[in-house]
């Protein structure tokens, strides 16, 4: 049985569970979505994103994908359309304070919250 090994995983810089930053991604296949960054190698980012968002906290199954780094912009947790209930809140609060980016107006949750 053949095995598949992606050398990017051997050299990937990883975030700890609960400390995976949120990002806005622009991808030809996915469009513009919000995702969490699992890790990265120079020039590429490995993301996790929900296949179907029911509401801000209910996302069901996630998929993963490697993307070019220039297609991924880090955003604050509170600006994401969805969030993980397993997030390390103090870590995200400290990290989010360093980010000035605001999500696009199509972020429905943010429009309702204002």
- Which tens digit of pLDDT belongs to each residue from 19-54? 999 999 999 999 999 999 999 999 999 999 998 888
pLDDT score of 114: 37
Taking the model in full, what pTM does it have? 0.82
Please enumerate in sequence order all residues whose Cβ is within 8 A of that of 73, keeping only pairs 6 or more positions apart, or say none: 23, 24, 25, 101
CATH for the stretch 7-86: 2.30.30
Domain ranges of the chain: 7-86
């Amino acid at each position: 049985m053949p095995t598949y090994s992606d050398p990017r995983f051997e050299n990937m810089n990883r975030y700890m569970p609960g400390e995976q930053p949120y990002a806005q991604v622009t991808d030809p296949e996915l469009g513009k979505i919000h995702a969490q960054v699992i890790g990265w190698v120079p020039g590429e980012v490995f993301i996790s994103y929900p296949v179907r968002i029911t509401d801000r906290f209910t996302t069901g199954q996630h998929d993963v994908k490697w993307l070019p780094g220039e297609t991924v912009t880090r955003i604050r947790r509170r600006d994401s359309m969805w969030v993980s209930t397993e997030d390390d809140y103090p870590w995200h609060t400290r990290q989010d304070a360093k980010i000035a980016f605001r999500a696009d107006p199509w972020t429905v949750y943010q429009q309702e919250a204002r």
